[in-house]
Amino acid sequence: MQIAVIGAGISGLVCARKLAEAGHRVVVLEKSRSLGGRCATRKFGEHLVDTGAQYFTLRDEGIRSEVEQLAGGQLKKIEKPILSEKQIYRVGEERFYLANGNNRLGSLLAEGLDVRKECEAGRVVQEGKRWKVLGEEYHAVVSSAPWPQSAALFGMRESEVAFEPNLTACFEYLIPWDGSKYATLDSTGQEPLAWVGCENAKEGRIQSGKSVYVIQASTAYSQQFLEKDPSEWSRDLSERLERSWGLSPDKRGMTFGHRWRYARRGRGTEKTSALADGLYLCGDSVSDSRVESVWKSGIEVAEKLLAKGGL
Ligand SMILES: Cc1cc2nc3c(=O)[nH]c(=O)nc-3n(C[C@H](O)[C@H](O)[C@H](O)COP(=O)(O)OP(=O)(O)OC[C@H]3O[C@@H](n4cnc5c(N)ncnc54)[C@H](O)[C@@H]3O)c2cc1C
């Protein structure tokens, strides 16, 4: 079977691998230059910073052993706590990251697959029993793009499932990390600083003598400032960070801001993964917005497709 998977994020790549392993001809279409989607990492001066998923859980034994096999010694655990309203967030939970950046999960998954980067899928149209994308016909198409983008590709109503934006900012300070905690989390949704994580808690990421913080603003704040210039909101967020973590503004170094238009699934129920004969969805349109959950959704969609056999 010829199958197109739209998106080289974690769910699309997991799905594509399973289908390719079962002997199907799979093409992954990815609009950007990078792999991993919202499991994103970037160079920040000499530092390496995760700008999307900060860490991931591996509660499912099957997924855990797949990730262990794939990542080998790159798979690391964050040992320092996350503090949430004065409590330690999910005591005992294991939190994982990849030494060379969480986006490495994407590149590792993509090995051996036919991934076409900088290849933005347009409208998916039905031609008899086949589906056509970018001039090529496939027996099945799986989209892993967030629902508003998938809906546009499929010509469906996007309003059923909303995705929330997120403003993410990174700040470097020219002082070492005090090592007391990894992150602070506001689960009330009231505080503009929804998440502050210190990348120093991830081994080997940050140059010595410096510290780097990743902030995710709350959904309300992100919605309010989404279309504003990053210089406007990143300054405000840095001042809030300095007050909350006791950092000196004089020691502030580099800064950057990133706008995630579709960061996480918000209101609305999950979509079903089988939209029509040969047309499927995976990723957080059909699961919650966590790396482990979208991984699982990629497996489930591949299994569904394989169970159909002749499609
Ligand atoms: C700021 C932030 C922090 C997060 N923190 C965590 C965390 O700490 N732990 C955790 O488990 N999860 C976290 N998440 C959630 C997690 O990152 C996502 O749920 C998960 O990575 C989504 O994977 P996916 O494969 O479903 O989608 P994506 O990663 O979004 O992949 C979809 C891909 O499709 C591509 N695409 C879209 N449209 C097209 C098109 N027309 N043609 C071709 N390609 C297209 C996109 O470029 C993208 O690469 C976070 C997310 C964000 C944004």
What DSSP string runs through 259-306? Answer: EEEEEEE-SSPPPPSEEETTEEE-STTSS-SSHHHHHHHHHHHHHHHH
Least reliable range by pLDDT among 20-29, 270-279, 282-291: 270-279
| Global model pTM greater than 0.85 | yes
Residue 277 shares a structural domain with residue 299? yes
Amino acid 308: pLDDT: 83
Q: Looking at residue 294, which CATH number applies to its domain?
A: 3.50.50.60
Of the residues 63, 289, 301, which should be mutated to test ligand 1's pocket, given the most ligand atoms within 8 Å of the CB?
A: 289
Residue 140 Cβ contacting ligand 1 at under 6 Å: no
228 is a domain residue: yes
Atom of ligand 1 nearest to the CA of 7: 34
Residue 122 shares a structural domain with residue 253? no
**Cα–Cα dist 257/236, whole Å:** 12
Residue 311 shares a structural domain with residue 169? no
**Cα–Cα dist 181/238, whole Å:** 18
Residue 7 shares a structural domain with residue 129? yes
- Helix, strand or coil, per DSSP, at residue 60: coil
Amino acid 160: pLDDT: 73
95 is a domain residue: no
Residue 155 shares a structural domain with residue 275? yes
* pLDDT, mean over the chain: 95
Q: Looking at residue 255, which CATH number applies to its domain?
A: 3.90.660.10
43 is a domain residue: no
Residue 277 shares a structural domain with residue 289? yes
Residue 170 shares a structural domain with residue 307? no
Residue 124 shares a structural domain with residue 195? no
SS (H, E, C) 144-168: CCCHHHHHHHHCCCCCCCCEEEEEE
Residue 15 shares a structural domain with residue 141? yes
Residue 213 domain boundaries? 163-265
For the cut 90, the answer to whether the pLDDT of residue 309 exceeds it is no
Confidence of residue 10 (pLDDT cuts 50, 70, 90): very high
**Cα–Cα dist 186/180, whole Å:** 18
Q: Which amino acid is residue 186, in one-letter code?
A: D
What is the distance in A from the centroid of ligand 1 to the CA of 175?
Answer: 32
Q: Cα angle at 68 between 50 and 12, to 5 degrees?
A: 60
Domain count across the chain: 2
**Tens digits of per-residue pLDDT, 150-205?**
999 999 987 778 899 999 999 999 999 999 999 999 989 899 999 999 999 999 99
Residue 121 shares a structural domain with residue 223? no
The alpha-helical segments, DSSP class H, found in the chain are 10-21, 61-71, 104-110, 147-154, 219-225, 230-245, 291-307
How many CA atoms are closer than 13 Å to the CA of 65, on its beta-carbon side?
2
85 is a domain residue: no
Residue 167 shares a structural domain with residue 259? yes
**Atom 41, ligand 1: which residue's CA is nearest?**
121
Residue 191 shares a structural domain with residue 306? no
When computed from its CA atoms, the radius of gyration of the chain, rounded to whole angstroms, is: 20
For the cut 90, the answer to whether the pLDDT of residue 310 exceeds it is no
Amino acid 269: pLDDT: 73
**Atom 13, ligand 1: which residue's CA is nearest?**
53
The answer to whether 55 touches 97, Cβ cutoff 8 Å, is: yes
Query: Phi then psi for 212, rounded to 5 degrees?
Result: -130, 130
**Tens digits of per-residue pLDDT, 21-73?**
999 999 999 999 999 999 999 999 999 999 999 999 999 999 999 999 999 99
